[in-house]
Chain A
Amino acid sequence: MRILVCIKQVPDSAQIRVHPVTNTIMRQGVPTIINPYDLFSLEEALRLRDKFGGEVTVLTMGPPMASDSLRKTLAIGADRAVLLTDRFFAGSDTLATTYALAQAIRKVEGTFGRQDIVFAGKQTIDGDTAQVGPGIAKRLNLLQLTYVSKIAECDPEKGEITVERRSEGGVQVLHTKLPCLVTMLEGSNEVRRGAIDDALRAARAEIVTWSAKDAEISDLTKCGLKGSPTIVKKVFAPSPRSERAAFIEPEKTAADTAEKLIEAMFARQPKLEAEMHKLASGL
């Protein structure tokens, strides 16, 4: 089985700070990580490979630095890593991103063979759009399975797959044909720690690095800012409410403070007490 996994290197969002004066993102020194949602897809890909044989190729588009994340996926157990990097891709929105990635996947297939499944993360933690997976599927005409909580069955010989997919209010059990695109739900598996052998291999491994030209992406008007239908016009910090919170001074005992706080709530929302009585008594 040949499986491709798309990942993204993202800033560790817990550590992002906004400059207090200029309101711009302070990117310097913010550590980068593999988008956590991608790891569930990587793990699922590795499990399929371990079961059926074959190879897992990891692909990312990003700055040259993104090779760090690719190397980590090799250490976890991926067989090959491809970095798509070119200044033409700078400023890509999701539509331009899916164009470039889809072209690169075609190039991967031309170079290393046809892929049975393409995995992507459910969404990223920096963009949070959940649009890139479906976009790649549409561009490559792959059947699309998003929010997958479990791969119930997979038969590479017959080219069939059955999955459980999270939907509103329940789980859909879907049967479809390969090749397809899958995004895994978080928590659907436990991501492995890489073996020592893999770590050693990863340290020496060559990352396949492609420019737009290498990946045979000829139509640069579909890439980067130029190829992006959406335009970010404004980035701004949220404005505080015109009035700050009305502060309650704590009393000597927590009990008195609690009383005072409840009085303040009921004073502000006169109907609240009656409604809370109803709720509390289970009416």
Chain B
Amino acid sequence: MSGTPAPTPAPVASRASAKKELPEHFRDYKHVWVFIELERGDVHPVSWELLGEGRKLADKLGVQLASVVLGAPGDATNAAVAESFRYGADVAYLVEHPVLADYRNEPYSKAMTQLVNAHKPEILLLGATTLGRDLAGSVATTLLTGLTADCTELAVDADGSLAATRPTFGGSLLCTIYTLNYRPQMATIRPRVMPMPEREENRTGRVVPFAPDLREEEIITKILKFIPDRDSAKSNLAFADIVVAGGLGLQSAENFQLIRNLAATLGAEFGGSRPLVQKGWMTSDRQIGQTGKTIRPKLYIAAGISGAIQHRVGVEGADCIVAINTDKNASIFDFAHIGIVSDAIRLLPALTEAFRFRLSPHQRDRLAG
């Protein structure tokens, strides 16, 4: 890959005792890549979020940021490429082939592996979606390199290594993981963990077409059909502006209704912590936290949630976190902005009533006047 000069940052300090000289054949691995998840004409927003994060890493390393778009030849791939420039990519690898029309593990992992071997990125980021995880595991195993799943924070060290931080041990601790002597350094990141970058309408970049070596007759798995989810079944939790959630402090499945009531009054989405799914009080698509949804609302009200790290990493992007808990030492007060030591079961109905009054049309007119 040519283009703008990419100065390699000099190793400032030998940080890691485990760090050996990077093997010769890995030294020309350069630049940061983001896999653009294009399915049925739409790009998953996590791809843009990763371009925002990839931009920071690339700037720190003094290298280019590239988007990788796979798909059948057509408008959708071209639109995805153009959009990736607007979200920060300098270069776009465009991998078009009829076999890549819909996601299947075999052709996608083959095409991706071929592209990596041909153009050698030092960092490869994918969304931790069902597609991203399915693909990343296959690609990393084929390339025999390291893959860190579900990162919540990415950074570049003084010597240029990717420091990927993720929750571990069921979410009670965080750990920072390196792939020191192998390339590319791969990581998956959950949707909504990274903020959406600014979109620059007139930004553009260089397209590098890549022809993968694929043949439909060699691909064994066939897609018989695709059954889209009914819209009503989908919760909009990840993208909601206001979210109300409950935890075990609610004490019973019946009391979870208090969360729904407040959410309905606010026009908000509702959810809960992992134990509620395990208890069957709530379906798993409403789970907020590391193994559930990550949210970035303007207001997040957490009622009776203790705030384990597994939950915390899912809500830290909220502008304002309000915590209601009877235990003044609950971890949730370590990261909430506003806290109240109170019984959520008693406070929630009062809060719903007070909001109903405050948000009534009459009060709105008063505010406007």
- B291 contact from A128, A228, A258, Cβ within 8 A: A128
Binds B, one of A56-64, A163-171, A212-220: A163-171
Binds B, one of A44-52, A71-79, A111-119, A235-243: A235-243
A175 at the interface (CB under 8 A from B): yes
CB distance from B29 to the nearest CB of A (A): 13
Residues facing B in A245-276 (CB within 8 A) are 245-248, 250, 253-255, 257-259, 261-262, 264-265, 268-269, 272-276
- A173 contact from B150, B180, B223, B359, Cβ within 8 A: B223
Binds B, one of A1-9, A82-90, A93-101, A196-204: A93-101
B129 at the interface (CB under 8 A from A): yes
The reply to whether B176 and A269 form a contact with Cβ atoms under 8 Å apart is no
The reply to whether A248 and B340 form a contact with Cβ atoms under 8 Å apart is yes
- B359 contact from A23, A133, A135, A276, Cβ within 8 A: A276
* A137 to B334 Cα, complex, angstroms: 42
* A274 to B334 Cα, complex, angstroms: 28
- Hey, which chain B residues are within 8 Å of A174, CB to CB? 104, 221-224
1/0 per residue, CB under 8 A from A, across B332-347: the answer is 0111111111100011
B163 at the interface (CB under 8 A from A): yes
A126 at the interface (CB under 8 A from B): yes
- A230 contact from B177, B284, B363, Cβ within 8 A: B177
Given the known inter-chain contacts A25-B172, A168-B131, please indicate yes or no for A261 contacting B309, CB distance below 8 A.
Answer: no
* A233 to B178 Cα, complex, angstroms: 7
The reply to whether A130 and B298 form a contact with Cβ atoms under 8 Å apart is no
Given the known inter-chain contacts A13-B169, A176-B222, please indicate yes or no for A281 contacting B146, CB distance below 8 A.
Answer: no
- A170 contact from B134, B179, B181, B228, Cβ within 8 A: B228
The reply to whether B177 and A232 form a contact with Cβ atoms under 8 Å apart is yes
- A25 contact from B173, B227, B299, B322, Cβ within 8 A: B173
A187 at the interface (CB under 8 A from B): yes
- Hey, which chain B residues are within 8 Å of A17, CB to CB? 172
Minimal Cβ-Cβ distance residue in A for B291? A128
* A50 to B225 Cα, complex, angstroms: 28
B327 at the interface (CB under 8 A from A): no
B361 at the interface (CB under 8 A from A): yes
CB distance from B268 to the nearest CB of A (A): 7
Minimal Cβ-Cβ distance residue in A for B228? A170
CB distance from A249 to the nearest CB of B (A): 8
1/0 per residue, CB under 8 A from A, across B205-237: the answer is 000000000000000111111111100001000
B281 at the interface (CB under 8 A from A): no
B28 at the interface (CB under 8 A from A): no
Binds A, one of B115-123, B137-145, B193-201: B137-145
* A167 to B148 Cα, complex, angstroms: 21
The reply to whether B147 and A173 form a contact with Cβ atoms under 8 Å apart is no
The reply to whether A280 and B267 form a contact with Cβ atoms under 8 Å apart is yes
Residues facing A in B91-105 (CB within 8 A) are 102-105
Given the known inter-chain contacts A269-B320, A272-B299, please indicate yes or no for A126 contacting B337, CB distance below 8 A.
Answer: no
The reply to whether B351 and A262 form a contact with Cβ atoms under 8 Å apart is yes
A110 at the interface (CB under 8 A from B): no
The reply to whether B131 and A171 form a contact with Cβ atoms under 8 Å apart is no
Given the known inter-chain contacts A130-B137, A187-B284, please indicate yes or no for A247 contacting B299, CB distance below 8 A.
Answer: no
The reply to whether A238 and B350 form a contact with Cβ atoms under 8 Å apart is no
CB distance from A276 to the nearest CB of B (A): 6
- B319 contact from A167, A246, A257, A269, Cβ within 8 A: A269
Minimal Cβ-Cβ distance residue in A for B135? A134
Interface hub of A168, A174, A265, A275 (most chain B Cβ within 10 A) = A168
- Hey, which chain A residues are within 8 Å of B14, CB to CB? none
- Hey, which chain B residues are within 8 Å of A253, CB to CB? 350
Given the known inter-chain contacts A235-B173, A245-B339, please indicate yes or no for A134 contacting B144, CB distance below 8 A.
Answer: no
Minimal Cβ-Cβ distance residue in A for B319? A269
A65 at the interface (CB under 8 A from B): no
CB distance from A202 to the nearest CB of B (A): 26
The reply to whether B134 and A128 form a contact with Cβ atoms under 8 Å apart is no
Residues facing A in B125-183 (CB within 8 A) are 129-131, 133-134, 136-138, 140-142, 144-150, 163, 167-182
- Hey, which chain B residues are within 8 Å of A11, CB to CB? 169-170
Minimal Cβ-Cβ distance residue in B for A181? B105
* A266 to B112 Cα, complex, angstroms: 48
- B367 contact from A95, A177, A187, A274, Cβ within 8 A: A274
In the A-B complex, the 3 residue pairs with the smallest Cβ-Cβ separation, listed nearest first, are: A13-B170, A134-B137, A245-B339
- Show 28 A/B contacts (Cβ-Cβ < 8 Å), sorted by A: A93-B146, A135-B141, A168-B37, A170-B226, A172-B102, A173-B226, A174-B222, A174-B224, A176-B221, A186-B284, A231-B16, A232-B176, A233-B163, A233-B176, A235-B173, A247-B339, A248-B340, A250-B341, A254-B349, A257-B347, A258-B351, A258-B354, A261-B322, A264-B338, A268-B320, A277-B359, A280-B266, A281-B364
Q: Beyond the given A255-B354, A257-B350, could you list 16 further A-B residue pairs with CB under 8 A, ordered by the A residue number?
A: A13-B170, A126-B170, A129-B149, A137-B138, A139-B141, A162-B224, A167-B39, A231-B179, A233-B178, A238-B312, A257-B342, A258-B350, A268-B337, A272-B299, A275-B241, A279-B242
The chain B residues found within 8 Å of chain A, CB to CB, are: 16, 18, 37, 39-40, 44, 102-106, 109, 129-131, 133-134, 136-138, 140-142, 144-150, 163, 167-182, 220-229, 234, 241-242, 265-268, 275, 284, 290-291, 298-299, 309, 312, 319-323, 333-342, 346-347, 349-351, 353-355, 358-359, 361, 363-364, 367
